[in-house]
Structures are given as C-alpha cells and as structure tokens.
Amino acid sequence: LGYFFPGLNLGFFASTLSTSDSLRIFYYEALCVFCALQDILARVPAFARVVIYTDNLNTVQIFNSLACLPTYNHILRRSVDTLLSTNISLRILHIPGEVNVVADALSRHQFERARIAAPGLVINTFKPPLWSLGAVEK
C-alpha cells in the first residue's frame, strides 16, 4: 500500500502480503484510498473538498457508485461514515499508472524510485486499521 501528498512531498507505505491475485490487489487498492482519506482528515478543515487519484479503475468505480461486492462493503461504509461526520466532499479520480509513479513505487517499497520521481520526498509508514486485517481471506 502506498499513497502520496504531492503538495507536501510526503509519502506513506504499509506492508501487505505479496500477491498477484486480482481480488486481493483490488481490496488493497480500495483500502489504501480509505487510509489516505483517514490521513487527510487531520490535514484539512471540515467542509473541505478532497480529490484522491488512483490508477485502479475498479476502486474509482466503487467509490463513485457506492456499489461493490460484500468483501469491499466495509471499506465503503466506513468511508461514507467518515465523510458524513466531517462534511468533507470526496472525489476519486483515475490517473494512468505510468503517471502514478510515486504512489506505485511506495506501494512496492521502491523508495529510491519514489525519491527520484519526487526529490526531497519524506517517506513514512502507516498501519491499516485492524478491522481490515484478514478481510481478504473471507
């Protein structure tokens, strides 16, 4: 998992199980958007308008339609609860993978590649919420 605040030149990463399973990857992509949203809450005032870019079209679709398979429902529900309680307006937009260099490098723990793409980048870890652990195993 990895996300990046370009305006702050600040990146975050978390370790996950290595996988090529598309359902697990999709779960991690959606979870990463949720985690980025939680981090954003401390950085913006109530009623802010926030845009999160992701290179995963499935993630864009579930957040914009609020419709998903049961496996992802808790991520959407908690995201909506967060937005309603803070009055933040959220848009999730698609960004081509080849443009999403820093977040992609962070998610793969390729920190040198991330720092080449964003000189001076500060990199920190984050921990996904406990409720998300093991959810992809169901």
CATH number (domain holding residue 11): 3.30.420
Q: How many domains does the chain have?
A: 1
pLDDT of 30-72, one tens digit each? 999 999 999 999 899 989 999 999 999 999 999 999 999 999 9
Which residue pairs, CB below 8 angstroms and at least 24 apart, start in 57-63? 57/94, 58/26, 58/29, 58/30, 59/26, 59/29, 59/30, 59/33, 59/92, 60/92, 60/93, 60/94, 62/30, 63/30, 63/33, 63/90, 63/92
Checking if the pLDDT of 18 tops 60, the result is yes
pLDDT of 100-121, one tens digit each? 999 999 999 999 999 999 999 9
> Which residues neighbour 79 within 8 Å (Cβ) at sequence distance 6 or greater?
33, 34, 37, 63, 90
Angstrom CA distances, 67 to 4, 62, 92, 125, stand at 26, 5, 14, 30
Range of the domain at 81: 2-137
- 88 — pLDDT class (breaks 50, 70, 90): very high
91's enclosing H/E stretch is: strand 89-94
How confident is the model at residue 52, as a pLDDT?
97
